Chains A and B, each alone.
Chain A
Amino acid sequence: MMKLAKKDILGIQEMTVDEINLILETAESFLEISTREIKKVPTLRGKSIINLFYEASTRTRTSFEIAGKRLSADTINISASTSSVVKGETLIDTARNLEAMNPDIIVLRHSAAGAPHLLASLVRQSIINAGDGAHEHPSQALLDMMTIREKKGRLAGLKVAIIGDILHSRVARSNIYGLSKMGARIVVAGPATMMPRNIEQMGVKACTKLEEAITDADVVMMLRIQLERQKQNIFPSLREYAQHYCLNRKNIKLAKPDAIVMHPGPINRGVEISPDIADDPACSVILDQVNNGVAVRMALLYLLSGGNE
């Protein structure tokens, strides 16, 4: 098996196809551990992992914690509300203090794009970006790619539609980077106010109609609409948004008959996705994504710790 020649996982943008494949294959091999009665292997015994979360998160933080624990690492969770952030300590000082306690990996979630890059340049530990502002969310894109590959057997040549607030979505960016590297065709759709400028230069097709984007899609990825965006006047109301950008029983017929439906969670039922689609095992793979998320994060922790040395 190849080794991951990286200190940090900051984004999919910097990853090669070989690295993505290595991570996905490693994750696939870890899937089985989570099905055992004793869900634990000694692989990372004696390693310490700090989950430093400056933004609220249930799914991602729990997923990283479980991933660490299943590999026997010691995981420590720090969330902004309990840390020295409230005392006004800078990210750099927090990081240097944590560094002095000698952990092996720091998993960082931060509302500021680029925060993990700052941290990575300062501390010797491996940094995993667990989401930085609207920039990247690499472990999410990896688990998405793993899920697509699991259901479709491949990534190359698939048509993937990503629908919603592309402008503010780190999930969209990481998936655009990853899926385009892996040879998928990507169409993004959302209200014009949620389309980042020059998005086509990222190698995607962009449109403003959900119907156009999902037609003949193999994969439909719905993004969470952030309710507070309404205040910025980028969309008039949830009602109108739901009328035009909610994936439902009717419009999903435009996608391929065997299309899968994804969502990074947490979902706003009835806003971007209708409950019957979200809960339909025939097309929804939302919980498979969560399951694969643990395996992907196990793979990242394992590979950053030196892989199979």
Chain B
Amino acid sequence: MKLLLKGARVIDPSQKMDARIDILVEEGKISSCGTTIKAPPAAQVINLTDMIVVPGLIDMHVHLREPGLEYKETIATGSAAAVAGGFTSIACMPNTDPVNDNRSITEFIRRKASEANLANVYPIGAISVGSEGKQMTEFWDLKEAGVIALSDDGKPVMDAALMRHAMEYAGSLDLPVIQHCEDINLSAGGLMNEGYWSTMMGLPGIPSIAEEAIVGRDILIAEYTQTRIHIAHVSTAGSVRLIRDAKMRGLKVTAETAPHYFTLTDECLQDYDTSYKVNPPLRSTADIAAINEGLADGTIDAIACDHAPHARTDKEVEFVYAANGISGLETSLGLSLNLVHEGILTWEKLIAAMACNPARILNLDKGTLKKGSDADITVIDPEQTWRVDVKTFVSRGKNSPFSGRKMKGRAVLTLVAGDIKYDGRAL
């Protein structure tokens, strides 16, 4: 199939490109880019005047729940949510049931993803068997099976020696290690950010130092062992500062944050609405300011939504029992575009954080519209205003505190390897 994308503003930070050009897609690849490309015979021409075309967005931190927790999400529904949100590639965390800690689970995930045939799904393998923080998994075997990174997400590696060995061993395989930074002794029993609002509400707090202590520790390990570390979902000003300092000293530290960490604060929890319950917890306005700054100056490399779909039964309970997480794939771009509307990020920086940088961190040959690359392309209507309605979510997880929120800008067309996987132009 041949596709000619005509007349759009193309923003591709990987080529420092921001221009009105046409893109021709042939056999799943970008075959040419140019100011005016003549449609070859049998090519479908899509007129995209007023649209913005970017390299297919990549969310490097999602939970697809399969195997084991299919009542929350499946690889098929999660991939459908991804393309509906403008994402052509997603990396899924290993905290399924069973945990993705061996080749057979990785292969199962890849098979399900290829059956779904929507987004590219990249499995992240567990660092430790069962993510129990004791015995290292077979990194080599996992890598050969298709794992692109390692993490015990949600169950932070508390044992510093295990973390050191994981980073050294993974480093030799060029597999990035992703840490959910949380000192579980400091956060024990905590349900929300520790501060004025937890005091008012009488909920046990999670102090910012619970995150920062492990960010700091893992940066030290990265420095000592000369290996890479990727910090997941940065939520505090202190973490931003630690990462910035580490980068200035030339360490191989990368970081991501999620849209809710630059959009919402702990004040939102005051009615005990469990849709705002996430881990790490929503922090303060000062933390948001620091995260915005970190995104703007490149301290934070990537935006990843930590897509955490849950069933109603997981959320419609007392706050203490409610599951953590937000179903985020279908609101991530809209919320992130706010950073552009507010002048915090340029378009180029936003797309770098949502496509180019995740590809670089995960060693994926993606996140670019260069000639010859895979035709993973996201088309954004920058002016479309719309209102979030969880009932229309493609994801099985309808758990979103953003329901009803007005957004400006939306993915209207998602191409994966040249095939249209989502077409929302009629919406």
CA distance A134 to B319 in the complex (A): 13
CA distance A110 to B202 in the complex (A): 13
Which residue in B196, B313, B318 is a CB contact (below 8 Å) of A114?
A: B318
**Residue among B203, B205, B319 having the largest count of chain A Cβ atoms under 10 Å:** B319
- What string of 1s and 0s marks CB contacts (under 8 Å) between B308-337 and chain A? 000001001111110000000000000000
Any B CB within 8 A of the CB of A133: yes
Q: Which residues of B contact A132 (CB under 8 A)?
A: 202
CA distance A19 to B194 in the complex (A): 31
B204's nearest neighbour on chain A, judged by CB, is A134
Any B CB within 8 A of the CB of A196: yes
Any A CB within 8 A of the CB of B198: yes
Spot the interface stretch: A197-205, A215-223, A294-302: A197-205
Q: Which residues of B contact A242 (CB under 8 A)?
A: none
CA distance A118 to B319 in the complex (A): 9
Distance in angstroms from B203 CB to nearest chain A CB is: 5
Any B CB within 8 A of the CB of A170: yes
Distance in angstroms from A44 CB to nearest chain B CB is: 29
Q: Which residues of A contact B204 (CB under 8 A)?
A: 134
Any B CB within 8 A of the CB of A20: no
**Residue among B204, B272, B320 having the largest count of chain A Cβ atoms under 10 Å:** B272
Contact A170 B196 (CB under 8 A): no
Any A CB within 8 A of the CB of B201: yes
- Report, as a range, how many residues of chain B touch the other chain: 20 to 34
B193's nearest neighbour on chain A, judged by CB, is A197
Q: Given A118-B272, A197-B194, A197-B205, are A112 and B199 also a contact pair (CB < 8 Å)? A: no
Any B CB within 8 A of the CB of A224: no
Contact B321 A136 (CB under 8 A): no
CA distance A114 to B202 in the complex (A): 9
CA distance A44 to B203 in the complex (A): 35
Distance in angstroms from B159 CB to nearest chain A CB is: 21
Q: Given A90-B317, A92-B316, A118-B318, are A113 and B205 also a contact pair (CB < 8 Å)? A: no
Q: Which residues of A contact B1 (CB under 8 A)?
A: none
Provide a sorted-by-A list of 14 A–B residue pairs whose CB atoms are within 8 angstroms: A110-B318, A113-B272, A115-B318, A118-B317, A133-B202, A133-B320, A135-B202, A135-B203, A136-B202, A170-B202, A196-B205, A197-B199, A198-B195, A202-B199
Task: Report, nearest first, the 4 A-B pairs whose CB atoms are least far apart.
Answer: A114-B272, A135-B202, A134-B202, A112-B318
